[in-house]
Chains A and B, each alone.
With several copies, the nearest count.
Chain A
Amino acid sequence: MNKRMLTQNAAFGMFWLAGIVAVLIMAFVVGYIFVKGFPGISLDFFTTSPRGGLSGDGGIYSTVVTTFYMIVVTLTFATPLGVGAAIYLTEYSANTENKVVRKLVTVARFGVETLAGVPSIVFGLFGYALFVSALNFGFSILSASLAGACLIIPVIIRTTEEALKSVPSGYREGSLALGANRWETTWKVVLPAAFRGISTGILLSAGRIVSETAIFFVTLGGSYRVPHSLMSGGRTMALHVYYLAMETRAFDKAMSTAAVLVGLIIVMNLTINMITSKIAAK
């Protein structure tokens, strides 16, 4: 009996340690970046663009703008496709007798799953080969966000599917039994009920765009100017951290930018948590 409890205490000690270490890692990474980064953050830091070549002077204004553009444009491409695909896969696919369509659905599912596993550098390669070179979009927000959209479409499809699936099937049956057709049911009942879930998916995708570096490294060009059209190149905050770290000696600036990035991610996570906890509360 005593031995059983001793074993348990030993095991639990290890688990506590694991939990503590995990938190310490987080605290250390984030803390270090904040401690090193905060001193460099001022209003100027946000309102001026990078300048001065290798000196790493200036702030991050243009990179914030670029990041924002990237989020908007990428989501504009990916959201309708992703949500639409998810709707088809969850709401329609199970209800087709047509053999061809069923095959297509299997293929589509495979596509989504494969896409989700593709490493981002391959999206980069692909974006570089197709959008930058073959389609001649050059290093531009357009090229980068098309490649980025490929990255987040599976994320949106998955989270949206999850959200749609978590809508009780009773809602659908209830609506169908009242004489509504599929689309009416989806539009009026299922989508509103899944809205929060879908929006966390979109937010999550925005987070992916904010943090992504590898794809944009080979598609966005890295110009630190404020982009003024879809065809402009640019530099997201994450890319800026990379440039600062790898090209210049401005590690302090890199840290400040990283701190801003991490801060942004924290805010996004909090928002997602808020939304999901509201879903859970329902």
Chain B
Amino acid sequence: METEVTRMQAEDYSLFYGQFKALNKINIKIPANRVTAFIGPSGCGKSTFLRSFNRMNDLIPSVTTTGTVYLDGKDVGKQDVVELRRKVGMVFQRPNPFPKSIFDNVAYGPRLHGTKNKSDLAVLVEKSLRRSALWDEVKDDLQKSGMSLSGGQQQRLCIARAIAVNPEVILMDEPASALDPVATLKIEELMNELKNKYTIAIVTHNMQQAGRVSDYTAFMLTDENRSGNLIEFGATKQIFTTPSDSRTEDYISGRFG
């Protein structure tokens, strides 16, 4: 852990929905080129925390925060949000391809950010689709609607779409919870490959999944005020064999309650 490069970091980060403190002084360093999994019971603030990294919480008017979240050492709150979101891609729980062609889905981001040249786009789309392990399945008909793909393919399309704008970090909020086990495993394998180029943070309800895919695991839990706290953070192997906090152990061994 000490030897890892930190890509994102939260420092004494608290988040409020109106009066309600949803996150309580979170401190964490997300290592670069690793998969970091966030686990914890429902409502402990995993999604909320994840969405702090690309400031998706800005969309909720009642949200206020204290403390700081850094990307590469720079306060994300002080960065241009559009640029931040380009750098910090996101993949959602339900696959959400736009009702456009596969090509246009992937090209959407690059076009926004100024790539207009057709052949550049074509190259970029292919690269992104290859990287998200979808190319072989769709290369014959990139004009097909993204919605016509299967759930697992849609999710990979969304990953390709996120990759296409060349992000540094990819956030994934339960990216496989709407998929069947086979598609889930594909996504998990994909993450394993993507971490060579990207830093990945994933929220999952599924302890087994966290075990399978992640290098680091963060365990969150609500305190007596229903605020989310970071209980334990460490190498996944360590968390799954010798967690240091008994609450972590109770949770991962299914004895929580």
Q: What is the interface of chain A, defined by CB distance below 8 A to chain B?
A: 1, 4, 94-97, 168, 170-171, 173-181, 184, 188-189, 192-193, 282
- Write the chain B residue with the least CB distance to A97: B61
Q: Which residues from A are CB-within-8-Å of B59?
A: 95, 176
Q: Which residues from A are CB-within-8-Å of B81?
A: 179
Residue pair B61, A95 in contact (C-beta under 8 Å):
yes
Q: Which residues from A are CB-within-8-Å of B83?
A: 1, 179
Sample 22 A-B pairs with CB under 8 A, ordered by A number: A94-B61, A95-B59, A95-B61, A96-B61, A170-B92, A170-B94, A170-B96, A173-B92, A174-B90, A175-B108, A176-B56, A176-B59, A177-B54, A177-B56, A177-B90, A177-B92, A178-B89, A178-B109, A179-B109, A179-B113, A188-B108, A282-B147
Query: Is B82 interfacial (CB-CB < 8 Å)?
Result: yes
Q: State which of A94, A176, A179, A189 has its C-beta within 8 Å of the C-beta of B98.
A: A189
- Write the chain B residue with the least CB distance to A98: B61
Query: Is B46 interfacial (CB-CB < 8 Å)?
Result: no
Residue pair A174, B82 in contact (C-beta under 8 Å):
no
Q: How far is the CA of A95 from the CA of B59 in the complex (A)?
A: 6
Q: Which residues from B are CB-within-8-Å of A170?
A: 92, 94-96
Q: Which residues from A are CB-within-8-Å of B94?
A: 168, 170
- Write the chain B residue with the least CB distance to A173: B92
Q: Given A177-B90, A179-B86, are A184 and B98 also a contact pair (CB < 8 Å)?
A: no
Q: Which residues from A are CB-within-8-Å of B165?
A: 178-179
Q: Which residues from A are CB-within-8-Å of B54?
A: 177
Residue pair B99, A193 in contact (C-beta under 8 Å):
yes
Residue pair B85, A174 in contact (C-beta under 8 Å):
no
Q: State which of B61, B100, B108, B147 has its C-beta within 8 Å of the C-beta of A178.
A: B108
Q: How far is the CA of A102 from the CA of B59 in the complex (A)?
A: 15
Give chain A nearest CB distance to B15 CB in angstroms. Answer: 15
Q: Which residues from B are CB-within-8-Å of A189?
A: 98, 108
Q: A174-B98, A179-B112 are in contact. List 15 more A-B contacts (CB 8 A).
A: A1-B80, A94-B61, A95-B59, A96-B61, A170-B94, A170-B95, A170-B96, A171-B98, A174-B97, A176-B85, A177-B162, A178-B86, A178-B112, A181-B82, A192-B99
Q: Which residues from A are CB-within-8-Å of B195?
A: none
Residue pair A168, B161 in contact (C-beta under 8 Å):
no
Interface string of B57-85 (1 = CB under 8 A from A): 00111100000000000000000111111
**Size range of the interface on B?**
20 to 34
Q: How far is the CA of A181 from the CA of B85 in the complex (A)?
A: 11
- Write the chain B residue with the least CB distance to A170: B96
- Write the chain B residue with the least CB distance to A178: B109
Q: Which residues from A are CB-within-8-Å of B96?
A: 168, 170-171, 173-174
Residue pair B113, A174 in contact (C-beta under 8 Å):
no
- Write the chain B residue with the least CB distance to A96: B61
Give chain A nearest CB distance to B7 CB in angstroms. Answer: 18
Query: Is B158 interfacial (CB-CB < 8 Å)?
Result: yes
Q: How far is the CA of A184 from the CA of B114 in the complex (A)?
A: 13
- Write the chain A residue with the least CB distance to B63: A97
- Write the chain A residue with the least CB distance to B164: A178
Give chain B nearest CB distance to A72 CB in angstroms. Answer: 29
Most chain B Cβ neighbours within 10 Å, of A170, A174, A178, A181: A178
Q: How far is the CA of A168 from the CA of B99 in the complex (A)?
A: 10
Give chain B nearest CB distance to A175 CB in angstroms. Answer: 7
Q: State which of A97, A179, A193 has its C-beta within 8 Å of the C-beta of B85.
A: A179
Q: State which of B82, B84, B108 has its C-beta within 8 Å of the C-beta of A1.
A: B82
Give chain B nearest CB distance to A227 CB in angstroms. Answer: 41
Give chain A nearest CB distance to B44 CB in angstroms. Answer: 21
Most chain B Cβ neighbours within 10 Å, of A95, A96, A177: A177
Q: Given A168-B96, A184-B112, A193-B99, are A4 and B90 also a contact pair (CB < 8 Å)?
A: no
Q: Given A4-B82, A170-B94, A170-B96, are A178 and B162 also a contact pair (CB < 8 Å)?
A: yes
Q: How far is the CA of A188 from the CA of B107 in the complex (A)?
A: 12
- Write the chain A residue with the least CB distance to B89: A177
Q: Which residues from A are CB-within-8-Å of B97?
A: 174
Residue pair A174, B56 in contact (C-beta under 8 Å):
no
Give chain B nearest CB distance to A166 CB in angstroms. Answer: 12
Q: How far is the CA of A281 from the CA of B89 in the complex (A)?
A: 31
- Write the chain B residue with the least CB distance to A184: B112
Q: How far is the CA of A236 from the CA of B60 in the complex (A)?
A: 48
Q: How far is the CA of A179 from the CA of B81 in the complex (A)?
A: 7
Q: Which residues from B are CB-within-8-Å of A4?
A: 82
Most chain B Cβ neighbours within 10 Å, of A170, A181, A184, A282: A170
